[in-house]
Amino acid sequence: MDQNHFNPALLKLAREERGFSQKKLAQELCIQQSSVCKYEAGVLIPSDDTIRSISKLFGYQSTFFFQDDLPVYSGLIFHRKRTSLSAKKRMSIEAEARLRAIDVLHLFKWKGMKSNIIPRENRKPEEMAQALREHWNVNDGPIENLTKLLEDNKIVILSFKFDAEELDGFVLNVDNIVCIAMNNDGGFSPDRQRFTMCHELAHALLHQNVFPDKTIEGEADRFAAEFLAPRKAIESDLVWPMTFEQLKQLKGKWKISMASLIYRAHKLGTISDAIYRRIMMYMSSHGFRKHEPECGLVPETPTLLNNMIQEFLAETQDALSELKLSEWRFNERYKQSGGLSEMSVGKA
């Protein structure tokens, strides 16, 4: 191995993904913790034997650690609930998402693809939502399957369990590719998942190279509200008085929560402050602020990444070497795509 090209950042990322401290990694490798610290600082290069041990431990091929820097911008910094996560859990979730995004980068380069997005160009969040719907040829009505729309435009949904209910999702950008990491632990309603995807897409479109402040989350919410339910299309649906059954029907139509519909009506001025407060009190008293009726909504399933993985395995000689993954790590990460079949193993 040409050790001069060892990338310490990738060692740190692999360690954090597994939730290992430097001390624990040193114990696993039977070396001093100070050595691990020096490896990650780039002042000491591991021996070939140590690199092989690291690769076996974390499930990567040795060549993984000799890639050039693969900068993955993470939007987890914007997430309003990130402070309720322990530092160890936050780093583990973010590291796993970054490493999956690196796989996506390899696959997109193989296909010569990039995400179909547009620059902000000083647009307000609502204007950006309108411009993106126009760019994607989406009519003004409800979006039937948001996940499919995003994937049709090469926005990648990285769906995996975070083991942390405090976090719905966050965005990652890498080399003109937008990935949205989504927590698929099953505890989030379909309408919440859809809003989260739009919220995180907003961060990718509006907030690159922006220092996070208290306005950021509000802008992402404004984008999501307008993208999912354009003002000119939904305004006539939000006229009061309205029965609870009518509100449920609107949730089924627009596929956004009843609470969001009420909030949208308030922001659009179709209901007064007093009516808004009264409705929200009713929602709280009946437990609907925590658990709303589903109204026929069902979870949306991403397929783009799994399909690309299967295509890559079928068409690429020595596919695991190209992805720089061990067989067990591939099967663990992509078990939703069926893992490696006997045919794939033979090719890889």
pLDDT tens figures, 219-256: 999 999 999 999 999 999 999 898 999 999 999 999 99
In a domain, 75, yes or no: no
Q: How many CB atoms lie within 10 A of CB 58?
A: 22
pTM equals 0.92
Do residues 149 and 257 both lie within one domain? Answer: yes
In a domain, 40, yes or no: yes
Nearest CA to 176 among 306, 99, 73? 73
Question: To the nearest 10°, the Cα dihedral for 192, 197, 201, 203?
Answer: 50
Do residues 57 and 160 both lie within one domain? Answer: no
pLDDT higher than threshold 90 for residue 161: yes
Do residues 333 and 265 both lie within one domain? Answer: no
Among 35, 69, 103, the domain boundary falls at: 69
Half-sphere exposure of 169 (CA within 13 A, CB side): 30
Q: Range of 54's domain?
A: 3-69
In a domain, 299, yes or no: no
Mean pLDDT of 313-323: 92
Do residues 114 and 39 both lie within one domain? Answer: no
For 17-66, write each residue's pLDDT tens digit: 999 999 999 999 999 999 999 999 999 999 999 999 999 999 999 999 99
- Furthest C-alpha separation in the chain: 73
Nearest CA to 237 among 224, 212, 256? 256
In a domain, 265, yes or no: yes
Confidence of residue 175 (pLDDT cuts 50, 70, 90): confident
Nearest CA to 347 among 312, 323, 325, 318? 318
Query: Residue 13 sits in a domain of what CATH number?
Result: 1.10.260.40
In a domain, 37, yes or no: yes
Do residues 256 and 312 both lie within one domain? Answer: no
Whether residue 138 contacts residue 149, with contact meaning beta carbons closer than 8 Å, is answered with: yes
In a domain, 206, yes or no: yes
For 303-317, write each residue's pLDDT tens digit: 999 999 999 999 998
Which two structure tokens, joined as six digits, stand for 212?
């996070």
Do residues 220 and 340 both lie within one domain? Answer: no
Q: In terms of C-beta density within 10 A (0-12 exposed, 13-18 middle, 19 or more buried), how is residue 310 classed?
A: middle
Do residues 43 and 115 both lie within one domain? Answer: no
Q: Structural domain tally of the chain? A: 3
Mean pLDDT of the chain: 90
Q: What is the DSSP letter of 157?
A: E
Do residues 276 and 183 both lie within one domain? Answer: yes
Nearest CA to 103 among 59, 147, 41? 59
Do residues 131 and 260 both lie within one domain? Answer: yes
Q: How far apart are CA 245 and CA 145, in angstroms?
A: 23
Do residues 244 and 185 both lie within one domain? Answer: yes
pLDDT higher than threshold 60 for residue 342: no
For 86-141, write each residue's pLDDT tens digit: 888 999 999 999 999 999 999 999 999 999 999 999 999 999 999 999 999 999 99
Question: Does residue 245 come out as left (phi exceeding 0), alpha (psi in the -120 to 50 range) or beta?
Answer: alpha
In a domain, 298, yes or no: no
In a domain, 87, yes or no: no
Do residues 138 and 202 both lie within one domain? Answer: yes
